[in-house]
Amino acid sequence: MRVAILVSGRGSNMAALIDAAKEPGFPAEIVAVISNRPTAGALDIAAGAGIATAVVDHKKFPSREAFDEALDAELRGHRPDIICMAGFMRLLTPGFISKWEGRMLNIHPALLPSFKGLDTHARALEAGVRLHGCTVHLVTAEMDAGPIVAQAAAPVLDGDDEAALAARVLKAEHKLYVHALKAWADAAPGSRETAWSGTGRSKLPRR
């Protein structure tokens, strides 16, 4: 399975996927890493691993639609079977998402459906939850609302601040995204479309 990764920053989740894909027998190949920010550290990591990189700078386009059209064209040049969003800090238009429907995964630093959007760790601490975590889900037009593919929990410990909790969840993210991509790639194509229950939760294996 050919995988393209979308990034905006340092790319630690991307690096975890790249490392996993190097292992013999891993069912996915990372064919491209694309960023909307030319200074993203992830680009250097990907290039160092011998992976094709590209920049589609959102600041150079007059609208979200124009940016998404350019991003779509760049992606299609790499012929990915699936797109993994790994810290990609852009909201994509419904038109773009419809072109890649069922072929886009995202990782979110919370146990969805709780704490959608930004600042998840601060909000989890403020809410007083004792269990936090991360979610891999399919991307839909509604932000952080697509069917859940896999989740991993991380405890909230006494004395945690936002940085400590974020670091603990990030470690879980690295393992979970690899697990989810492998499970997705291993699943028969027909089973992917029928893997979702009425609650939007995946029947694929979980961590």
Pairing state between β 148-155 and 131-138: antiparallel
- Judged by phi (left if over 0) then psi (alpha if -120 to 50, else beta), residue 24 lies in beta
Determine whether the annotation assigns residue 11 to a binding site. yes
Please report, as a single letter, which amino acid is at residue 95.
Answer: G
Determine whether the annotation assigns residue 13 to a binding site. yes
Question: Of 158, 100, 162, 154, which Cα lies nearest the Cα of 132?
Answer: 154
Task: Give catalytic status of residue 108 as yes or no.
Answer: yes
Determine whether the annotation assigns residue 92 to a binding site. yes
Determine whether the annotation assigns residue 91 to a binding site. yes
Determine whether the annotation assigns residue 12 to a binding site. yes
Question: What would the 3-class secondary structure string for 13-52 be?
Answer: HHHHHHHHHCCCCCCCEEEEEEECCCCCHHHHHHHHCCCE
Question: Which helix H or strand E contains 74, and what residues bound it?
Answer: helix 64-76
Identified catalytic residue from 58, 108, 121, 174? 108
Determine whether the annotation assigns residue 90 to a binding site. yes
Determine whether the annotation assigns residue 89 to a binding site. yes
CA 19/CA 202 separation, integer angstroms: 25
Query: Which residues are tagged catalytic?
Result: 108
Binding-site residues from annotation for (6R)-10-formyltetrahydrofolate: 64, 89-92, 106
Binding-site residues from annotation: 11-13, 64, 89-92, 106
